[in-house]
């Protein structure tokens, strides 16, 4: 069966809430019903049929042909199946995913992967601020799954991460791992100011020594553990990195000692 395909007719005039267009949300709906789903967010909201040409039948495999920074909440609550977007997306892509795969060929806005629990979210371009982070009023951020950004991420990447892995391949902004509770964040490329600020536990893995670290991190010297090699292999096996990130005997900072101080920043020495 051919993938259910939403082909963008023109740049939308309003922000779209695409949270309903998931395999679970579309299962059992006829084309006519799908075209009448409301996706616009203004007083005169657009329907699916106003914005997209709908073809294909298989709701377990959804493709958005074309993208826009106004595509909000794509893949919200995705629990199985696959969604692919051939362009950019807006806010909260893959929020609260609990399974399946979301692949974004372009860039994503703020809060991509917000509070995801499981599944795989891959962004081939850049991501905005608060990658994996919670929305206002929520207690914790991402709680599981794998979130990969092939480009750069903005500020506050991995805020209040509780479980799971976030990998950013071309650097990120300030406050990466802000208020981390646990889990792992991998960053290759330049990291902005204050990585790990207020982190309680968890691990930040960097391919270089951080330039602007909070003074509440303690230099623990170099580590001689098997973990770094195992983790490097995992990153290569998952095709996140094509060469080892940490190498043998990475350097380590412990912190943030203003809170519990049980977090760690491991980094490749010599860069």
Partner 1 sequence: MSVAWVGSQPVPLTDAVRNAAKLLASSRCPVFTLDADVHGTRSAIALAERLGGAYDHAAGDVLAKEVALFTDHGGMFTMPGEARRRSSLIVIVGEIPVAHHELLQAWAGSQPDLGDKHKRTWFHIDGTETIEADKLARKLKAIPLGADGLSLPAVLGVLRAGLQGQRIAASLTNIDRFRKALTTAQFPVFVFSGTSGETAGLVMLQGLVADLNKTGRASSVFLPADDDAWGTALTSLWMTGFPPRTGFSNSLPSYDPGRWDIQRMIRDKEADLHVWMSTRGGETPPRGGKIPLISLSKTNSPTSGAKITISVGKAGIDHDGVSYSSRTGTFRAVQAAQPSELPSVSSIVGQLAQALPGRKALPC
User: Would you count residue 256 as binding partner 1 (CB under 8 A)?
Assistant: yes
From residue 75, alpha-carbon distances to 136, 144, 250 in Å are 20, 16, 37
**Identified binder of partner 1 from the candidate list 6, 17, 152, 231, rule CB under 8 A:** 17
CA distance 73 to 90: 7
User: Would you count residue 10 as binding partner 1 (CB under 8 A)?
Assistant: no
From residue 223, alpha-carbon distances to 120, 250, 264, 269 in Å are 30, 6, 11, 11
C-beta of 227: minimal distance to partner 1 in Å? Answer: 25
User: Would you count residue 225 as binding partner 1 (CB under 8 A)?
Assistant: no
CA distance 82 to 120: 10
Contacts of 270 (CB under 8 A, 6+ apart): none
Burial bucket for residue 29 (CB in 10 Å: 0-12, 13-18, 19+): middle
For the chain, report the end-to-end CA distance as a whole number of angstroms: 50
Please give the backbone phi and psi of residue 63, each rounded to the nearest 5 degrees, phi first. -125, 130
C-beta of 257: minimal distance to partner 1 in Å? Answer: 5
User: Would you count residue 64 as binding partner 1 (CB under 8 A)?
Assistant: no
**Identified binder of partner 1 from the candidate list 31, 37, 41, 201, rule CB under 8 A:** 41
User: Would you count residue 208 as binding partner 1 (CB under 8 A)?
Assistant: no
C-beta of 209: minimal distance to partner 1 in Å? Answer: 16
User: Would you count residue 199 as binding partner 1 (CB under 8 A)?
Assistant: no
> Measured at the alpha carbon of residue 82, what is the angle toward residues 77 and 84, in degrees to the nearest 5?
100
User: Would you count residue 14 as binding partner 1 (CB under 8 A)?
Assistant: yes
Which range in 8-16, 112-120, 225-233, 239-247 contacts partner 1 by CB under 8 A? Answer: 8-16
Paired tokens of 213: 């670290």
**Identified binder of partner 1 from the candidate list 88, 110, 122, 143, rule CB under 8 A:** 110
Size of the site for partner 1 (CB under 8 A): 35
CA distance 223 to 241: 21
User: Would you count residue 216 as binding partner 1 (CB under 8 A)?
Assistant: yes
Which range in 22-30, 35-43, 47-55, 233-241 contacts partner 1 by CB under 8 A? Answer: 35-43
User: Would you count residue 215 as binding partner 1 (CB under 8 A)?
Assistant: yes
Comparing CA positions, the residue from 141, 134, 150 lying closest to residue 186 is 150
C-beta of 195: minimal distance to partner 1 in Å? Answer: 12
Q: Are the CB atoms for 203 and 222 separated by under 8 Å? A: no
**Identified binder of partner 1 from the candidate list 10, 28, 30, 137, rule CB under 8 A:** 137
Which residues is 206 bridged to in the sheet?
A: 187, 267
C-beta of 74: minimal distance to partner 1 in Å? Answer: 14
User: Would you count residue 259 as binding partner 1 (CB under 8 A)?
Assistant: yes
State the residues that interact with partner 1 by CB under 8 A. Answer: 13-15, 17, 41-45, 70, 72, 91, 109-111, 134-137, 175, 178-179, 193-194, 197-198, 214-216, 218, 256-259, 261
């Amino acid at each position: 069966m051919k993938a259910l395909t939403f082909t963008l007719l023109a740049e939308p005039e309003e922000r779209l809430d695409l949270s309903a267009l998931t395999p679970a949300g579309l299962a059992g709906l006829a084309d006519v019903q799908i075209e009448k789903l409301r996706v616009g967010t203004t007083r005169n909201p657009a329907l699916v049929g106003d914005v997209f040409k709908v073809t294909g039948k298989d709701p377990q495999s959804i493709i958005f042909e074309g993208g826009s920074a106004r595509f909000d909440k794509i893949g919200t609550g995705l629990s199985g199946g696959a969604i692919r977007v051939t362009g950019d997306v807006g806010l909260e892509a893959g929020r609260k995913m609990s399974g399946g795969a979301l692949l974004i060929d372009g860039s994503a806005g703020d809060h991509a992967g917000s509070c995801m629990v499981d599944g795989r979210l891959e962004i081939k371009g850049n991501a905005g601020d608060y990658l994996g982070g919670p929305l206002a009023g929520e207690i914790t951020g991402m709680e599981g799954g794998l979130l990969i950004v092939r480009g750069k991420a903005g500020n506050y990447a991995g805020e209040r991460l509780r479980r799971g892995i976030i990998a950013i391949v071309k650097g990120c902004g300030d406050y990466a791992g802000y208020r981390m509770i646990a889990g792992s964040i991998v960053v290759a490329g330049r990291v902005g100011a204050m990585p790990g600020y207020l982190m309680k536990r968890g691990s930040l893995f960097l391919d270089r020594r951080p330039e602007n670290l909070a003074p509440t991190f303690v230099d623990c010297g170099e580590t001689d553990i098997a973990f770094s090699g195992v983790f490097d292999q995992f990153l290569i096996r998952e095709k996140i990195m094509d060469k080892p990130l940490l190498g043998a005997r990475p350097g380590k900072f412990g912190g943030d000692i203003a809170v519990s101080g049980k977090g760690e920043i491991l980094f490749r020495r010599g860069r």
